[in-house]
Structure 1
Amino acid sequence: MATTTPLELDDDLQTRVQHLASARRRSASWIMREAIAQYVEREEKREAFRADALDAWEAYQADGLHVTQEEADAWLAKLEAGEDAEPPACHA
């Protein structure tokens, strides 16, 4: 189900959307829906990443488990070289 939401655009942005819509043979509404959908998806991923980082920080503060940058770099180098390497073990 779709609902109508009013959206105010300044004249310049409205013109740009209209030109893009014409170039893509789409409606201005389609362009705006697509832009909003992509923005929301990107921001949801960014928020999930931020929440994961805060959770990891809290876990580190609680137990001190970590890997060093050198350990992480060595593991990532193996993966980049195509090796099937296990991640390094966390330690305090």
Structure 2
Amino acid sequence: MATSVKLDDDLRNRVQHLAEVRQRSSHWIMREAIRDYVEREEKREAFKDDALQAWKAYQENGLHLTLEEADEWLAKLEAGVDAEMPKCHD
């Protein structure tokens, strides 16, 4: 699928310079930039959807962890301890 993108002179020159430095085509630089952007935004949307689902579940059942419980568990994981997530409670 061919798509055209209009760039202002400054951005076009920056892309061309980066392409030269990286020994790539301007097309490759733009395609990679768009791919990275789309992947990042898809992850952001998935995170937001997960958060909304978690909020909905909490509103329905009241189950949760306190900040202290979550911090303690995450500290163990960060230290390399294979700790199970604490049980949610109301």
Normalised by the length of structure 2, the TM-score is 0.96
Please point out which of 61, 64, 67 is paired with 1:63.
Answer: 61
Q: CA deviation at 1:76?
A: 1.2
**Aligned pairs for 1:1-92 within 5 A:** 3-92=1-90
Residues 20-42 of structure 1, C-alpha deviations (whole Å, 9 max, x = no match): 00111111001000000000000
Residues 32-85 of structure 1, C-alpha deviations (whole Å, 9 max, x = no match): 000000000000000000000000000000000001011111111111222111
Give the Cα–Cα distance (whole angstroms) in 2 for the partners of residues 9 and 29 of structure 1.
12
Q: Please identify runs of 4+ aligned residues in structure 1 that moved more than 6 A.
A: none
Structure 2 spans left out of the alignment, 5+ residues? none
Normalised by the length of structure 1, the TM-score is 0.94
> Structure 1 vs Structure 2: percent identity of aligned residues?
70
